[in-house]
Amino acid sequence: MSLELRARVREEFRRRFGGEPSFLARAPGRVNLIGDHTDYNEGFVLPMAIDREVWLAVRARADRRVAVHSIDFDEDATFALDDGAARRGGWVEYLRAVAWALEDDGRPTRGWEGVAAGDVPVGAGLSSSAALELATARTFAAISGVVWQPVAMARIAQRAENEFVGVNCGIMDQLISAAGAAGHALLIDCRSLETQLVRIPDSVAVIVLDTGTRRGLVDSAYNERRMQCETAARFFGVRALRDVDVATFAAREAELDPVTRKRARHVITENARTLDAARLLGENNVAGVGALMDESHASLRDDFEVSRNELDTMVEVARKHDACLGARMTGAGFGGCAVALVRREGAAAFARGVSQAYTETIGLQPAVYVCAASQGASVELLD
Angstrom CA distances, 378 to 11, 53, 93, 182, 294, stand at 19, 11, 21, 12, 34
Residue 170 Cβ vs ligand GLA, minimum distance, rounded to whole Å: 3
Contacts of 258 (CB under 8 A, 6+ apart): none
Nearest distance, CB of residue 79 and ligand GLA, angstroms: 24
Considering 36, 39, 119, 173, which one is annotated as catalytic? 173
What whole-number distance in Å separates Cα of residue 317 and Cα of residue 312? 9
Does 173 qualify as catalytic in the annotation?
yes
Name the minimum Å distance from CB 56 to ligand GLA: 22
Of residues 113 and 133, the one with the C-beta less far from ligand GLA = 133
Nearer to ligand GLA, 39 or 295 (CB): 39
CB nearer to ligand GLA: give 56 or 172: 172
CB of 41 to ligand GLA, least distance (A): 9
> Given the complex with ligand GLA, which of 109 and 128 has the nearer CB atom?
128
Note the residues at the interface with ligand GLA (CB under 6 A).
36-37, 39-40, 169-170, 172-173, 331-332
Q: How far apart are CA 328 and CA 283, in angstroms?
A: 21
**For the residues of 338-380, what is the DSSP string, one character each?**
EEEEEEGGGHHHHHHHHHHHHHHHHS---EEEEEPB---SEEE
Contact 277, 244 (CB under 8 A): no
Tell me how far apart the alpha carbons of residues 75 and 70 are, in angstroms, rounded to a whole number: 5
Q: Which is nearer to ligand GLA, 172 or 204 (CB)?
A: 172
Rounded CA-CA distance 264/300 in Å is: 11
In sequence order, what are the residues at sequence separation of 6 or more whose Cβ sits closer than 8 angstroms to the Cβ of residue 303? 262, 263, 265, 266
* CB of residue 359 to ligand GLA, shortest distance in Å: 26
> Catalytic amino acids?
173
